[in-house]
Chains A and B, each alone.
Chain A
């Protein structure tokens, strides 16, 4: 199956190239565009990006695997990325993660069978003032409590 991209995404990619004197510098921004449209980076995207930036596909793969934000498999519609680094830890991140795991009946690192929820433990997100906190898709939420988690889940069910 060949790799498909919407016209909107293609337009964005064209604009990206104008920002850099070298094509390869567009690699990360292009991968972001692809992930935004597909929810992850499908394997077929690798040769596609490689051709665009004029690098061998293995270099693209290397980049995808290096950065934690690039997903190589589809993940849940709602991605709970809970911070477990020092400031969040001091304010009870561990309990928050356990509560979320119990409520969703999945462990961190897993996706629910209905593809609705994924939990990932992540490192400091630069929001320690609202510890314990998480990123739910694109948004930062904190300080978290069990009640707040329950409230959020109720809205998403």
Chain B
């Protein structure tokens, strides 16, 4: 069983999709407190907590909220990103089905802070059962005067609607998500204008991840300092790590952002089956470049991982044991981004297709040694040359696997088989 400590995990474990259970744990007290503060005070508190966007980009949440124009003549919207599609990520599912009321409370506080009276929760279409639970909890909130014309009896109105996607990873990207919500295909928009100025229906809009919002009530309740002190100088709190792949106990673990990858994998997720060694760890969803086994003493946190050339991203940690064929894994990963490219820009559409083809050719034993450099060139040509970051998300794993595990790919190109030496030795020899 996962730990009972933490902020959201105790709620997940006590079924807080049911209002009574959440109320028993002090639920909705934070929203009452926030509604008696000014919106600016709420934003300031969130800003001081160092809460950063847990959808993947890590943008400071309070700062984003402050971008919304004051006294806008247009309506302001809050859009909750529950597309949860970055491979290796599955935490938001637990929040919407088990800590549901914490999310609703976070939505109330965020909406109040930015001046929104309508919030849409965009949930990936495949989460059918999960959407049902979410809808029920929202209905329960309406029935108990928590949502609607007078939120918690105060002079603030808020409607919350669930909007189901229909199968498209790109709709997790915030501007594609807004297009999709408007009833169109999910083609990302050029930025600027940023959604905070011109978002949903051309109105000021804040898009936040489910987990980001679920932490907000606790920041208001316990204070910004409490949250900030759990983390580093620039990232506050805890987060929900999703651990999958070759571990004994795959699952969600809520830990301070200062926790190292090694601790997460060995102390929490039970280590590797059969006591095998680790070959590679992807730290933040499949678009983040992998690390080697000797690099795991790093905090699984935005800035620390960025220093190593990778990303904390969505918190999706994917563990691969020593017997994993990394050519297979990069092929599967690249196929994903090729499949999910919306096709709007040439470098992404064509580049992901070429990389997919080359990798498949190598996998079928027909690779050439030039393929390795060629992959690198194509990936470099995508980086920074596209409308949205999906292009980079496709290029980064290719560059990352080649940077740290080049031998594996060269071995397949030259000898049509996996590399069978020790990396440490090879590195030492060179």
Taking Cβ atoms with an 8 Å cutoff, the residues of A that contact B are 19, 21-22, 24-29, 31-32, 53, 55, 59, 62-63, 66-70, 81, 84-87, 89-91, 123-131, 135, 138-140
Contacts and interface: CB of A to CB of B under 8 A. Distances in A.
Interface residues of B, number: 54
30 contacts: A22-B201, A24-B184, A26-B183, A32-B164, A32-B166, A53-B183, A63-B184, A63-B185, A67-B168, A70-B166, A70-B167, A86-B286, A87-B87, A87-B244, A87-B318, A90-B246, A90-B324, A91-B245, A123-B87, A123-B339, A124-B85, A124-B87, A126-B84, A126-B93, A128-B87, A129-B90, A129-B242, A129-B244, A129-B251, A130-B250
Contacts of B168: 66-68
Interface stretch (B3-11, B57-65, B125-133, B212-220): B125-133
Given A25-B183, A63-B183, A89-B329, A68 B167 contact: yes
Given A32-B164, A55-B183, A123-B169, 5 more contacts: A24-B182, A67-B167, A67-B168, A89-B328, A129-B243
Contacts of A62: 184-185
A143 to B, nearest CB: 9
Interface string B308-348: 00000000101010001000110011001001100000000
Contacts of B90: 126-129
Given A123-B339, A128-B87, A31 B166 contact: yes
B88 interface: yes
Contacts of B246: 90-91
Interface string B257-297: 00000000000000000000000001000100000000000
Interface of B: 75, 84-90, 92-93, 124-129, 159, 161, 163-169, 180-186, 201, 242-246, 250-252, 282, 286, 316, 318, 320, 324, 328-329, 332-333, 336, 339-340
Nearest to A65: B185
B130 to A, nearest CB: 9
A32 B125 contact: yes
B239 to A, nearest CB: 16
B164 A28 contact: yes
A135 B340 CA distance: 19
B129 A126 contact: no
Which of B182, B251, B333 has most chain A Cβ within 10 Å?
B182
B329 A86 contact: yes
A145 B185 CA distance: 36
A24 B246 CA distance: 45
Which of A28, A85, A86, A124 has most chain B Cβ within 10 Å?
A86
Contact of B127 (A28, A124, A126, A129): A126
Nearest to A23: B183
B129 A138 contact: yes
Contacts of A128: 87-90, 242, 244-245, 250, 316, 318
B332 A135 contact: no
Contacts of B186: 66-67
Given A25-B181, A66-B186, A69-B126, A85 B165 contact: no
B284 to A, nearest CB: 13
Nearest to A19: B161
Given A22-B201, A68-B166, A27 B126 contact: no
Which 4 A-B pairs have CB atoms at the shortest separation, nearest pair first? A27-B183, A67-B166, A68-B167, A128-B244
A87 B314 CA distance: 15
A59 to B, nearest CB: 8
A123 B128 contact: no
